[in-house]
A and B are shown apart, each in its own frame.
Chain A
């Protein structure tokens, strides 16, 4: 049974966006897709002894939202970190070293794939607990406001997080204090293998729910990178101007299992036909189709782009594989901060 159909309008015209900007959005999505596919291809080799949560199918949300952020703005993520980390500009070598449990990983092998961070580009924190980073990000927004800093915070979480009480608490507090934060909810309809129907009443509208916390909310097509960018741009502008928080519900679909390599739809928790229907709305291929039709990007240019991304990716894998493991002394480091 197909429970959740793609209801987006698909891609219209690229409108007023510069061709170069559109090509860059595409390149960023393609890069995430290719890196994820390479991770997935190698995962059964057991060199990456860490859980993985692939974002294949959900590239547009991270890329579209992060394109609306400056380097100095901060992004926080859930356990599904890869897309946000790369879209925010996180270092690929350090990411793959982390996933290979190496000492030079972005978190020194203490974090693993669920804790990808890169402070230099504002990839500021994650949590492996559902909704865990939402209050942390809200606190970062409180700090930005108290420091009179020109800084906006975006926090990514899934629709299951809206079932956690703490998210409601955070929306309330962010609205109360008019904090510069964007609550970015990626609704992919499944929490691990639990469908939405068993978790939320069918008539629950997340945007309306968020609005009841006294903030503007939008529901958007999360498969369309331009729609995501436009929504995020408005939300970021509101935050910068002191207008407080915004809630965005982006409807998306993960093409793979909750964790690990490959899709698990065949186990029966969701219909294979449902996934296949969503794959027709693929954020990467759909956007490429538009760019090709508009003669903004052609096949040879895409091939060149792909080759460059693969060269970078394979080099980063080599870097990770040839890097040193942490030592026993590393285990005890940084339990406590000095001073």
Chain B
């Protein structure tokens, strides 16, 4: 798909300075995390449709089968429900699977095993079994992938007790959060975003972890708090940079994991700014935006100077066509407009 590559290649990100450390492309950072995890812990294995094919899951699994063998890095039958259950059963019996998907849409085939089983065994067994597994997928956007290849499903899973949900936004975090997820003793979903795959960043070579449940300030400011994760927070930073020249000083919080959610950092920021804008890569209804908005109404109402606003997707399936996509997906300009309205 030249159109696909052309679109992603056209994205412009701030280039990191090599003076700050080694610069690595986003997929390579994930590849390095998997390599380290496979090397450190013989219980770890990587499976998924096409993890050993020439495109190597956006390059994230390149070379791993050659290095660790086909028993630990393997292609799967096209059978999502059983493979999710197989991963769960292996995890319950001493292994640490990393089950990779090209798109979150395919995880919907496996909700029975993910939601009814993996998320609940530890609880149902009164803590006797653990399910240390990672389910990884990259959210698509654009190039006509449409309603069944572009979905961001984190909102559907946010309300499921027993799951953790990770959404990195930088190569540094992609590596460190994935290593945390693999080391975690619970089922952890890692949702990457296809549009971040062209981003470079400073990534230490050694093993390190970024803790689950801890957000980070990407920008400090006093007028308005923006909270979100993944590609949505990338857009929010671009918008915050635009409005800065107009004297609007945004604080940008990258949540990094949406479950567990770092409520303390949002409260800390909100107590300073009094204004909250929540951004997400998925539908606004019933998802990350809705949950954080509700928390603000329930716990932080006394801090608010203006109504909470949200930027996400409308209650509409992803369209396939290019023109419709422009109306569907938020961009930095739209977020900037909302920021100005909120600070007026």
Q: Interface residues, chain A, CB within 8 Å of chain B?
A: 74, 106-108, 110-111, 115, 117, 119, 124-125, 127, 129, 132, 134-144, 146-147, 165-166, 169-170, 172-173, 176, 333-339
Contacts and interface: CB of A to CB of B under 8 A. Distances in A.
A115 B124 contact: yes
Contacts of A170: 82, 85-86
- 9 A-B pairs with least C-beta separation: A139-B89, A135-B85, A108-B126, A169-B82, A334-B127, A169-B79, A337-B185, A143-B93, A136-B89
Nearest to A112: B124
A176 B92 contact: no
Contacts of B186: 336-337
Given A125-B129, A132-B117, A172-B79, A334 B123 contact: yes
16 contacts: A110-B123, A115-B124, A124-B92, A132-B112, A134-B82, A136-B85, A136-B89, A139-B88, A139-B93, A140-B89, A146-B45, A166-B81, A169-B81, A336-B162, A336-B164, A337-B132
B90 A337 contact: no
A313 B318 CA distance: 59
Interface of B: 45, 71-72, 76-77, 79, 81-95, 112-113, 116-117, 121-132, 161-162, 164, 184-186
A136 B162 contact: no
Contacts of B122: 334-337
B134 to A, nearest CB: 14
Contacts of B71: 146
A132 B112 CA distance: 8
Contacts, number: 140
A143 B90 contact: yes
Contact of A138 (B86, B112, B125, B127): B86
A169 B77 contact: yes
Contact of A173 (B77, B126, B162): B77
A135 B88 contact: yes
Contacts of B82: 134-135, 138, 166, 169-170, 173
Contact of A129 (B93, B116, B162): B116
A147 B81 contact: no
B94 A143 contact: yes
Contacts of A176: 77
A140 B85 contact: no
Contacts of A336: 122, 162, 164, 186
A74 B129 CA distance: 14
Nearest to B81: A166
Contacts of A334: 122-123, 125-127
A146 B95 contact: yes
A115 B117 CA distance: 12
Nearest to A134: B85
Nearest to A107: B126
Given A140-B89, A143-B89, 13 more contacts: A108-B126, A108-B127, A124-B93, A125-B125, A134-B85, A136-B117, A146-B72, A147-B95, A172-B79, A176-B77, A334-B123, A335-B122, A337-B122
A147 B79 contact: no
Given A125-B129, A137-B89, A337-B185, A173 B79 contact: yes
Contacts of B164: 336
Nearest to B260: A336
Contacts of B91: 139
Contact of B89 (A107, A138, A166, A339): A138
Given A125-B129, A129-B112, A135-B113, A107 B85 contact: no
Contacts of B88: 135-136, 139
Contacts of B79: 166, 169, 172-173
B92 A140 contact: yes
B117 to A, nearest CB: 6
Contacts of A137: 89
B127 A135 contact: no
A338 B76 CA distance: 30
Contacts of B128: 117, 119
B78 to A, nearest CB: 9
Contacts of B77: 169, 172-173, 176
A127 B86 contact: no
A111 B125 contact: yes
Contacts of B92: 124-125, 136, 139-140
